[in-house]
Amino acid sequence: MRKHFLYLSGLLFITLLLPSRYAEAQDTLRLTLDQALEIALSESNTIKIADMTVEKTGYAKKGSYAALYPNVSANGSYQRTLLKQVMVMDMGDQPMEIKVGRDNNINTSATASMPLVNAQLWESLKLSGMDVEMAVEQARSSRIGMIKQVKQAFYAVLLAQESLHVVAEVYDNAQKNYEKTLQRFNVGKVSEVERLRAQVSMLNAEPNVSSAENAVLLANWQLKAVMGIDLGTNIKVEGDLNNYTEEMLTPYVSEENLENNSSLIQLGIQDRMLESTIRMQKRQYLPTLAASINYNYSAMGDEDLRWFPSSNAALSLSIPIFDGFQKHYSIQQSKVTKNMLALQREDTERNLRIAIRNYNDQIALCVKNYQAANATVEIAQKSYEISEKMYEVGKATLVELNDAQLALQQAQLTQAQAIYNYMMTKASLDELIGKE
């Protein structure tokens, strides 16, 4: 009976435990780089704000076209006379008082007006279109910047995971070496000093594992923050840095094309906007012509109201003659601003080309560092394996084994760092040349 009860209790425990673990596994979001980018471009507030800015500017452009349509308005008023005005007139030798006005006065009107000739207005509509173009380019720049941030955060997670793998392997080896040393110590083949040295090596390796685990956690948080998802979401970044080795070793073609650089494109749009502004300011010298039509329907009376319609149409011609040179000075200011923008664009392009060359040099250096580190890893791995076997047979000391392990660890981390540096630099270069 007791065995039956324990069996049922264990079965119930397993039944309750499995769903929670299954749910935990289901809640873990497994991410590749493409999936991380897709989520970031749809969930990030930065991208949402950029898209809303484009939408807002589009509405502003549509609103500016309202100036081309007739402006129609209607008005109505009612007036009740509380005390009528009195006029005094001489009728012969006697003054006569006459009350003027009616008790009730009602007036309604409808007015429609629109510009017929207004060159300044037409040019301002073109300027509104350029505002939308600028907003779209700024949104594209935000997406390119977001892609770079997500890539670099993703690579940082991969580097942290690779570092954790290396230090965990070192810790595992230190544990195995300590166990072997302890066995040899128990049979009197090594001294107490050798055993303590192996134990110290194992204990020194343990904090490195904790630090590496914490680095992975922080890198995951940074990735989630960049992606715009809740920091409490469980994620698992799939892949490792070695997946990018083939891309890294593929002959690299230097990127020097700045046609898609967002900064230069935005400066180009600003230049065209200034040209349009200057044209708009010059057209302030031209006459403007507007048309309007008005219809009134009014009534007045004490008790019986009588309605009277009236209507008129008008053309309004405005010719600017003299404004104290205000338009002239405004045009000169815009021209100076345009010249300043041209110098800014020249400096920006020069600095961008320097940055491109710097990135290209860094990429070439990363490839060389990886090739050197790769050869070092092979040698260090072989050296460690030889030292481990020699230590097992008593022909090498623990110090020599630890030195070989340390050399292998440094080579592996250098190799991973070279791939990481390459991918980080490549992501920055892609942003610089405007690659989406």
Distance CA 71, CA 156 (A): 59
pLDDT above 90 coverage of the chain, percent: 48
| Dihedral sign (CA 90, 96, 97, 103) | negative
The pLDDT of residue 338 is above 60? yes
Task: Please name the residue ranges forming H helices in 307-397.
Answer: 326-392
- Residues 38, 156 contacting (CB under 8 angstroms): no
Distance CA 384, CA 407 (A): 8
| Dihedral sign (CA 389, 391, 396, 400) | positive
Output the pLDDT for position 122: 87
pLDDT above 70 coverage of the chain, percent: 93
Output the pLDDT for position 144: 93
pLDDT one-digit tens code per residue, 204-257: 888 999 999 999 999 999 999 999 888 888 999 998 898 988 888 887 776 778
Pick from 226, 256, 45: nearest CA to 151: 226
Distance CA 369, CA 415 (A): 8
* Interval 346-364 mean pLDDT: 93
Distance CA 203, CA 400 (A): 18
Domain formed by 26-84+117-292+324-432, architecture: Up-down Bundle (1.20)
What confidence tier does 359 reach under pLDDT thresholds 50, 70, 90? very high
The pLDDT of residue 2 is above 50? no
Amino acid at 103: D
What confidence tier does 66 reach under pLDDT thresholds 50, 70, 90? confident
E strand or H helix that includes residue 236:
strand 235-237
The one-character DSSP state at 243 is G
pTM above 0.85, yes or no: no
* Interval 272-296 mean pLDDT: 93
The pLDDT of residue 6 is above 50? no
Question: Any idea where the domains of the chain sit in the sequence?
Answer: 26-84+117-292+324-432
Residue recorded with tokens 């264990």? 10
Output the pLDDT for position 107: 93
Distance CA 215, CA 164 (A): 8
Torsion (CA) 46, 50, 52, 56 in degrees, nearest 10:
150
The pLDDT of residue 405 is above 50? yes
Identify the residue with better confidence: 182 or 189: 182
The pLDDT of residue 332 is above 50? yes
* Token duo for residue 370: 């990886």
